[in-house]
Structure 1
Amino acid sequence: MNSAIPSRKNGQLTAGVTFAARLTFEHIRHSYYGRETIRDVSLTAEPGEVLCLLGPSGSGKTTLLRIAAGVETQTGGRLLINDREMAGPNAFVPPEKRGVGLMFQDFALFPHMTVLNNVRFGLTAMAAKEAVSEAMHALERVGLSHYADKYPHALSGGEQQRVALARALAPRPSVLLMDEPFSGLDSRLKDNVRADTLAILRESRATAIVVTHDAEEAMRMADRIALLRDGQLIQVGTADDLYRRPKDLFAAAFFSEINEFSGVVQGGLVETPLGTANAAGMGEGRDVSVAVRLSGLAVSPDAGAIPARIISRRFLGVVELLDLAIPGTERPVRSRIRADMLPPGLRDVTISVDPKDILVFEKS
């Protein structure tokens, strides 16, 4: 077990520092009843990094997490921690000996145990007195030491999530694996709990791999994001990389709402109902997809290049979502604008497009 000494900062107990590990998926393959669920994925989480596995349901992100934890076995490739083979052709290290912590989606707290006993549950290698002390340190780290004698049912969802985090961190794992850790929380709680969790991860300095299907959550938390689809790794990079330079139409649509058009490259350009897009570097005559972010469409009552008519508008608080009819396409074009920018009852408007929100991809 990695050991560390908790320290105090401004009188508060901070997370004990662990020895963060590098975790590597090397050409991982996995099949389930003959169906390939992971397809040759190679990916490394660097020491102390928060890496998010992002993708829709069925993309393979939770399977990768289970392989890292040792509760699922791959059909090909190797899992390495600090360059030591944990699972592969030459070795299989059991889960409890990997120095890995696992935090489940449903928190998996034992209802018949006190909060303290839930947290000390995995500290079996310690003497009882030392395990209690370590569990209390973990609870103080997440601000819940005063709930040590309570039972999980007496805690809110956010508090239960923090207990689950304390239990996962108590053994001081070198890698912490978190499966959709905020999905069960009320939307009003998510921001605060997520920010608190990230602060604790930074203090503990453990390598963290977080599974999520929420692109905004991944962007808020991750140092890097690995985007998956159908068991394949689509793109890896920072939030800035994936948002500004998506590899394909799937990646673009995952990080922002888009209008999609088809076109053909002619002279390095492609014509769309929203104007001409730059397709430099793409082959002449190639079929392409053009994505235009909703946030990149400015709608104005003044005269402009692209006339439009508002079909519907939905007030969403800070913003409004517009459906617009424009020449050149039978499908409505959508725009997301700040609320109250257009007067009530307005129908005829014009559209302008920010060039940085136009993305062109070759069709496969």
Structure 2
Amino acid sequence: MKRRTKQPNPVFAGLGRLRIRVPAIARQQARAAIARRTAGVTFAARLAFENVDHFYGDQQTLRDVTLAAEPGEVLCLLGPSGSGKTTLLRIAAGIEPLARGRLFLNDREIAGPNTHLPPERRGIGLMFQDFALFPHLSILDNVRFGLTALSSSDSKGEALAALERVGMVDYAQNYPHALSGGEQQRVALARALAPRPAVLLMDEPFSGLDSRLKDSVRAETLAILREARATAVVVTHDAEEAMRMGDRIALLRDGALVQLGTAEDLYHRPANIFAAGFFSEINVFECRVSGGVAQTPVGPVKASAFADGSPVCVAVRLPGIEITETPCGVPARVVARRFLGVEELITLVVAGGEKPIDARIRAGQLRSGARDVSVTVNERDILVFERNG
């Protein structure tokens, strides 16, 4: 009988994207392992940060952060570079120490003034931004890597079950170089879920994927997390990605928590001008309130919640600016327009305005060559904030 040979190490050239499918018996083993489970991949836990501070040298990177990921919830940490998102993840994983505050897994303190549970004893999984697959190990062995407490046969069964869950069991004998970026991402997810962590941490998990692939892989990953009933904390700098994935979103800036809530909360009721600008493109007008009204270049805006003379920032979302050639609003002139497929980005100057404003309208809505137009604003796309709020 001819023996099956193991795939050569990927350093050898000429293998390209050759894929070796596993025998049907391996798929049967994977499905049997899943069938034996009675509670999914893991028992989801609550991960809570309480008054957390952190420093890199003299620079404070986290400032009194208190928030929690509830059991089975997908919590997205959102913010610009340097806002402290990844530092929070590293503290949760046990890679970074706390300067002040405490960290709880359910009701158990795992980090604090007198506590620091080692990473391997926390029951917390970490999925790296670049997937961090070992190129010299097969896909199966990559997934088995963290299952050191199990016997060889048990670890193989668990790894095959994890690969089956992400739709990659057929490629268990392949090596990472033979897989696409999306397939490598699914293998990395399988490896993170195989030990059944109480909480899964994901650091910018889709940043290395092209835009067309990102949407499908993100949807697949979310479905797997739901099916696995895992608590997940996902770091991203993309507001749309956070809204697509997160049950709740924690918005960070300069190491501080700006706002915590659902996507609807943060979009419709942003805490300040920073939050408003992070979730949508906006035009910002600085003015003062008089008689419960703020006068802006695009017309008067209700500001009855503010005292007369109060300095305010009025934010107007770009889709909320409506443009017509019929005289029925504030006169304006088109100075630039950019076709973006479904939409057009229009730049205008308005009478009395100190700087141009932008609007997004449906492509074809405004006649080609139109210059002199009128502008009105949809009230639902107007937000008013205290000037320094």
TM-score (norm 2): 0.90
CA distance in 2, matches of 1:210, 1:294: 28
Correspondent of 2:246 among 210, 213, 222: 222
- Shift of residue 140 of structure 1? 0.6
CA distance in 2, matches of 1:163, 1:17: 15
CA distance in 2, matches of 1:166, 1:115: 10
Conservation of the 8 A alpha-carbon contact between 1:287 and 1:363: yes
- Shift of residue 16 of structure 1? 2.4
Call closer, same or farther: CA 1:7–1:345 in 2, change over 3 Å: farther
User: Match for residue 6 of structure 1?
Assistant: 34
Correspondent of 1:61 among 85, 90, 96: 85
CA distance in 2, matches of 1:14, 1:59: 40
User: Match for residue 291 of structure 1?
Assistant: 315
SS at 1:28's partner residue?
Answer: strand
Call closer, same or farther: CA 1:263–1:234 in 2, change over 3 Å: same
Alignment partner of 1:158 is 2:186: no
Alignment partner of 1:38 is 2:62: yes
Alignment partner of 1:361 is 2:385: yes
**Which structure would you say has the larger Rg?**
2
SS at 1:314's partner residue?
Answer: strand
CA distance in 1, matches of 2:292, 2:34: 60
- Shift of residue 330 of structure 1? 2.7
CA distance in 1, matches of 2:206, 2:344: 27
User: Match for residue 346 of structure 1?
Assistant: 370
Alignment partner of 1:320 is 2:348: no
Alignment partner of 1:280 is 2:280: no
Q: Which amino acid aligns with 1:86?
A: I
Conservation of the 8 A alpha-carbon contact between 1:15 and 1:200: no
CA deviations on 1:190-226 (whole Å, 9 max, x unpaired) are: 1100000000000111100000000000000000000
Correspondent of 1:22 among 42, 46, 52: 46
Moved over 6 A (4+): none
CA distance in 2, matches of 1:283, 1:344: 44
User: Match for residue 49 of structure 1?
Assistant: 73
Alignment partner of 1:204 is 2:228: yes
Conservation of the 8 A alpha-carbon contact between 2:286 and 2:387: no
Q: Which amino acid aligns with 1:61?
A: K
CA distance in 2, matches of 1:85, 1:57: 29
Conservation of the 8 A alpha-carbon contact between 1:15 and 1:203: no
User: Match for residue 337 of structure 1?
Assistant: 361
Conservation of the 8 A alpha-carbon contact between 1:14 and 1:141: no
User: Match for residue 263 of structure 2?
Assistant: 239
Alignment partner of 1:145 is 2:169: yes
CA distance in 1, matches of 2:139, 2:311: 59
CA distance in 2, matches of 1:272, 1:331: 12
Q: Which amino acid aligns with 1:224?
A: R
Question: Which sits farther off after the overlay, 295-304 or 239-248?
Answer: 295-304
CA distance in 2, matches of 1:281, 1:236: 23
Q: Which amino acid aligns with 1:292?
A: V
For structure 2, the 5+ residue unaligned runs are 1-32
Q: Which amino acid aligns with 1:231?
A: G
CA distance in 1, matches of 2:71, 2:359: 41
Alignment partner of 1:269 is 2:293: yes
CA distance in 1, matches of 2:253, 2:112: 24
SS at 1:164's partner residue?
Answer: helix
For structure 1, the 5+ residue unaligned runs are none
Q: Which amino acid aligns with 1:6?
A: I
CA distance in 2, matches of 1:169, 1:85: 23
- Shift of residue 17 of structure 1? 3.9
CA distance in 2, matches of 1:41, 1:286: 30
- Shift of residue 280 of structure 1? 1.8
CA deviations on 1:126-145 (whole Å, 9 max, x unpaired) are: 11110011000000100010
Conservation of the 8 A alpha-carbon contact between 1:312 and 1:324: yes
Q: Which amino acid aligns with 1:313?
A: R
CA deviations on 1:39-88 (whole Å, 9 max, x unpaired) are: 00000110000000000000000000000000111100001000111010
* Residues 70-109 of structure 1 aligned to structure 2 (within 5 Å): 70-109=94-133
Alignment partner of 1:259 is 2:283: yes
User: Match for residue 191 of structure 2?
Assistant: 167
- Shift of residue 347 of structure 1? 1.1
- Aligned pairs, number: 357
CA deviations on 1:97-125 (whole Å, 9 max, x unpaired) are: 11111000010111111111111111111
Conservation of the 8 A alpha-carbon contact between 2:41 and 2:194: no
- Shift of residue 6 of structure 1? 2.6
CA distance in 2, matches of 1:269, 1:105: 48
SS at 2:384's partner residue?
Answer: strand
CA distance in 2, matches of 1:278, 1:95: 53
CA distance in 1, matches of 2:293, 2:350: 21
* Residues 178-189 of structure 1 aligned to structure 2 (within 5 Å): 178-189=202-213
- Shift of residue 14 of structure 1? 11
Conservation of the 8 A alpha-carbon contact between 2:41 and 2:193: no
Conservation of the 8 A alpha-carbon contact between 2:347 and 2:357: yes
CA distance in 2, matches of 1:100, 1:121: 15
CA distance in 1, matches of 2:98, 2:163: 35
Correspondent of 1:192 among 216, 237, 253: 216
Q: Which amino acid aligns with 1:319?
A: E
